[in-house]
Amino acid sequence: MFKKILIANRGEIACRVAATAQRLGIQTVAVYSDADAQAQHVAACDEAIHIGGSAPKDSYLRWERILQAAQQTGAQAIHPGYGFLSENEDFAQACQAAGLVFIGPPASAIRAMGLKAESKQLMERAGVPLVPGYHGADQDPALLQREADRIGYPVLIKASAGGGGKGMRLVERSEDFAAALASCQREAINSFGNDAVLVEKYVLRPRHIEIQVFGDTQGNCVYLFERDCSVQRRHQKVLEEAPAPGMSEALRKKMGEAAVAAAQAVNYVGAGTVEFIVEQPGGYDAPDAMQFYFMEMNTRLQVEHPVTEAITGEDLVEWQLRVAAGQPLPKQQSELKIIGHAIEARICAENPDNGFLPATGSLQVYRKPACSSFAISDVRVDDGVREGDAISPFYDSMIAKLIVRGDTREQALARLDAALAQTQIVGLSTNVQFLRHVVTSHAFATAKLDTALIEREKAALFDQTAVPTPLAAAIAVAQQLQAEQALQGNDPFSRRDGWQSHAVVRRNFSFLQGSATVDAVLTYGRQGVLQLQVGDVQGDLQWRVQGAGLLVEFAEERSTADVHVQGDARHIFTPRGAAVLELQDPLAHAGEGHSEGGRLTAPMPGKVVSFAVQAGDTVTKGQPLAVMEAMKMEHTIAAPADGVVQELLYAPGDQVTEGAELIRIEAAVAA
């Protein structure tokens, strides 16, 4: 076994690998960029080496600097994690040439499976079912258009060297193909350095089911069952679970054996995932009719590997280390069993109600449920951040992975919702409440799964108010009273609890919830009785401190709540959901308001990719005007209103900060 390894990655996967390595008595070396100098993965390792600037191309993609760091520290092997260099055959070969073990498959396997088109051809020769499509080398746009027309719409354009949902575009009409192809190729060249694409028929009502495989240097290969990754947004996974609901033993065996055959076709060694698209021609309740097609093979450890660990009791990183050290697989196929059910939720810095736009900022509050890290347990959190850390625009938006296990899927679902309810993040937008909406939705709870679930169920998933406004306002008022009580002590003449020698006292509170104003009137009665009116709802308000939070009763509603105050905002977390109310003080903010007028601003830090208009053009509300790249994804910026473009304030390739004015538009005059 190795004595020291270097982890060529960052964030939660670097922490994950370090935990297993240290449990096995292996020393670890971290690498870090300028942005990650104080990151958790740096502190998690025994040593750390600075490798460059904040952007991945200046640090985590500089494999020559990483090799130098490994040699400098005496590391014997390099674990690439996932993303970055994990599927780079040149890096794998360079490790070997430098006398270092690459903890992953041989470069030949990465090469064989790394390009989607070539891997499809390889699988076709091996007899693995494929989705109808074009996987050829000729990348002439006119040819690709003709092939798409021949296949029939809808089609999916996919970057041949892609992964992680990047470089993919769904095209539903022939006239939209050229623009979608250009956008896909731009994203592909930026993310993978290769703009080759393939075109495939888009399978209707598809499920995304993948098989975890493992091979060793002795020629053994096994599958560790399947994961269902059908719940996706923007072609990226949101929830993953194992085993796949509704999977028959016959289909599980058939898909597992097909995955092993695919791995053996390229002499695979280490951890890999064979991904299948599964068609449901008989509907959600007819698993025996499901048909599967090879999609791609990811030649690395997957983000969602913890759910496989939870149902098998195996540490897949330990398997990786043992196999890379030349040891045989710890278990053979007959020894592997499924135990219970596990689900993983990806907690990301993003705004689901605004097209899942990535968010940046600081984790001013970061509270996790009671859990065990890197262990086979009922609740587990894999992360690489701490309270106070910043989520920057340079890397992926994922904050943490929340993994739960139960004896049944129903128990796992209940544990996941409870754990999400205990997850409190303040400082930037996250998808935590959205994940709760998905987990508790009828479609997900009853396993009506396909990759269109989020779009199909959007009425139940987006813009939902989990905490009734009157209760949220009552909690905010109670928090204000509790804070005043704590600050002002027992002096009756300085307290703001309504005490006075005569008359009735009322206090007015005004909150902003989203764009809506919420007014509350608190009346102090005799003997400490408090009455509250919020809109048309009226009743006694009772509250008391309970643990670190409050227990609040109002208008026949009773709830515990944790409230985090950030400036004027009250971030309220309850078992049923979360809410944000901003206390309005007209004196404090007098004269601050301003109108955005005809300004179009960057919603996040990033790079300007292109403009679709020029000065003098007339535009309509919702019309795409510009494309920005941030957090490794392209984002289209649309016109906020009808008008005429006056000026483009940046050029393609320019880096911009959040809020920077990109385009000046003169609003159209109403007729």
One-letter amino acid identity for 554? Answer: F
* Residue where the block lists tokens 């250009």: 182
SS3 of residue 492 by DSSP: coil
Query: 300 an active-site residue?
Result: yes
Q: Distance between CA atoms of 636 and 14, rounded to whole angstroms?
A: 32
* Choice among 10, 207, 300, 436 that is catalytic: 300
Total length of the chain: 671
Rounded to 10°, the helix 63-73/89-97 angle is: 30
Could you tell me if 657 and 602 are in contact, meaning their C-beta atoms sit under 8 angstroms apart?
yes
Strands 537-546 and 530-534: antiparallel
Structure tokens at 81: 């994690």
Structure tokens at 324: 């890379």
Residue 215 is inside which H or E element, if any? Answer: strand 207-215
Q: Distance between CA atoms of 550 and 203, rounded to whole angstroms?
A: 50
Q: For residues 665, 666, 667 and 670, what is the CA-based torsion angle, rounded to 10 degrees?
A: -150
Could you tell me if 304 and 237 are in contact, meaning their C-beta atoms sit under 8 angstroms apart?
yes
DSSP 8-state secondary structure symbol assigned to residue 82: S
Q: Distance between CA atoms of 399 and 91, rounded to whole angstroms?
A: 27
Residue of 139, 137, 180, 138 lying closest to 156 (CA atoms): 180
Sequence-ordered strand ranges (E) for 515-555: 516-524, 530-534, 537-546, 549-554
Q: Distance between CA atoms of 627 and 320, rounded to whole angstroms?
A: 40
State the catalytic residues.
Answer: 300
